[in-house]
Structure formats: C-alpha cells, structure tokens
C-alpha cells in the first residue's frame, strides 16, 4: 500500500471514529436531557391533549435555538448554516428514535394507539431530546482539537446560552401541577422573596463561573455584571417561562394575579437553568 493510500485510509478511519463518537455523545445527551420528561405523567397527557397548533409552534420555535446550539455547542464542530441545519436534522432524528424506543419500553406508547396521540407523545418529548443531542459534546467531554475549535462567545451568544438553559429546565417542570399549586400557596411577599432569591443565585453563578468564556472579567464592577448578565438573564428566563406556560395551556382559566404567580414560580428554575448553562456550556 502506498503512503498516499495509507494516509487516506487513516483519514477515513479518523472521520469514522469522529462520526461514531459524535453520534454516541448525541444519544447520551438526548437521554440525559429527555429522561425526566419521558417519565413524567403530565408530559404524556400533553402529548395527547395539547392543541396541535401549539405543539407545531413549539417545534418551529425551537429550530432557531437548536441552530444556535449546533453552531456553538453541537456534537461536532460546524462552520456554516448548512452544517448547522444538517446537524439539527440529525439531532431531531436521534431524538425521535430515542424517544420512541423509551416510550415504548416504558409502556407509554404501544400497538393500537391512535396515530394523533402516538405522534403527539413522541414529538413533545423529541424537543428536549434534540436539545440534549446537540449538547452531547459539552456534556460528555471534548478532545483537545475540539476545544481549540471552540468559537469565542459574544455577549449575544451568552444570552442565547442562557435562553437554552431556561428552556431546558422550564420544559422539565412547566407541565407539572405543582407549579400552579405552589403559586396558590405563596403570598405576595413570598413571591417577591422568590424573585430576589432568583436574582441573588443567578448573580452567584456569574462569579462562580469565574467569568469563564465571558466578555466580563473579574475586574468588571459588580453592578455592571448584575445589569448585563443577571438582570437580562432573569428577563430571558421569565420570557421563556411565559412562552412555555402558554404553550402548555397553564395560563388557561387563571386570573392575572395567579398567572403572574405561576410565572414567578417557574421563573425560579428557569433562572437557575439560565445561570448554570453558562457554566455547563
């Protein structure tokens, strides 16, 4: 075998290993991110009862975020929107496959189930699974070459990462009845205390991350970091929470004050997800 042929064979083997590794990380990420929702009864019910136009809207609105995550933290390095679109399609495929297998094994779906219910239950779980598939690389480690290929994060990309973290934790708990129950039990003062606690913990994460990958530095004044990251991040968490609650119909039939209370309650885990995402990703 000539030297050129040997080099070509080595390159082909390296590409195959990278592909298998990337797909393995994607499946692992899909499982980690979707398993809590795959085993949640409210998510099963939403797959059956949720209005189909809201489900389609959630699916469509998740596409830009998945494209963003593919570019900055996908299971392989990409350098153009076509590569990102391809990886998002692969992530959706992995998400649909993993969700179908697990829902079947868990007895949530099976033969004889009507097609609309079957499709609804699979698709609603595929969204967080696709999110996890794209984050497989950051969840399960990177090679030295991949770390060198990482892109510098701008302020806008950091906000996008916080939105992704908010969406993940928001999807986890928004379908549960506990969100509404907690909001009913809390007083106005407790709601205000929860807002303050959310902001305090988010700001703590900013300093716990030691400004990793951030435009800010340890020398940045605390009030600047608070305004640019903590406050804006919390606003993003509330916006994501509001959209998720509306999508799942959790605002239906509630008064404005109660709906606002539910938003504050869900905003707490969404804010933690936004802050933690800057550490994880």
- Whether the per-residue pLDDT at 164 is higher than 60: the answer is yes
- Mean pLDDT to the nearest integer, 133-141: 65
The model carries a pTM of 0.80
DSSP one-letter code for 187: -
Q: Tokens 């004044």 sit at which residue?
A: 221
Q: Quickly state the pLDDT bin for 140 (edges 50, 70, 90).
A: low
How many whole angstroms separate alpha carbon 276 and alpha carbon 281?
Answer: 9
- Give me the chain's average pLDDT, please: 80
Q: Which residues contact 157 (CB under 8 A, 6 or more apart)?
A: 68, 72, 151
DSSP secondary structure string, 190-212?
HHHHHHHHHHHHHHHHHHHTTTT
- Whether the per-residue pLDDT at 213 is higher than 90: the answer is no
Q: Quickly state the pLDDT bin for 76 (edges 50, 70, 90).
A: low
pLDDT of amino acid 267: 95
């Amino acid at each position: 075998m000539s030297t050129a042929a040997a080099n070509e064979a080595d390159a082909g083997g390296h590409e195959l290993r990278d592909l298998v590794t990337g797909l393995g990380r994607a499946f692992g990420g899909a499982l980690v991110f979707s398993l809590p929702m795959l085993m949640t009864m409210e998510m099963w019910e939403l797959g059956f009862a949720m209005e189909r136009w809201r489900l389609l809207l959630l699916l469509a609105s998740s596409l830009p975020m998945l494209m963003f995550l593919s570019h900055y933290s996908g299971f392989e390095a990409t350098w153009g929107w076509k590569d990102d679109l391809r990886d998002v399609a692969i992530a959706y495929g992995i998400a649909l496959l993993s969700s179908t297998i697990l829902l079947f094994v868990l007895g949530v779906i099976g033969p004889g189930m009507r097609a609309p219910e079957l499709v609804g239950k699979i698709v609603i779980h595929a969204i967080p699974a696709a999110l996890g598939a794209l984050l497989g690389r950051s969840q399960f480690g990177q090679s030295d070459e991949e770390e060198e290929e990482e892109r510098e994060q701008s302020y806008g990309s950091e906000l996008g990462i916080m939105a992704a973290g908010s969406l993940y934790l928001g999807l986890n708990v928004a379908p549960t009845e506990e969100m509404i129950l907690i909001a009913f039990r809390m007083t106005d003062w407790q709601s205000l205390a929860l807002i303050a606690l959310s902001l305090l913990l988010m700001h703590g994460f900013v300093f716990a991350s030691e400004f990793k990958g951030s435009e800010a530095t340890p020398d940045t004044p605390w009030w600047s970091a608070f305004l640019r990251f903590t406050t804006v991040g919390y606003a993003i968490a509330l916006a994501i929470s509001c959209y998720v609650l509306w999508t799942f119909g959790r605002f239906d039939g509630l008064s404005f004050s109660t709906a606002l209370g539910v938003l504050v309650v869900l905003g707490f885990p969404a804010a933690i997800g936004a802050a933690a995402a800057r550490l994880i990703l």
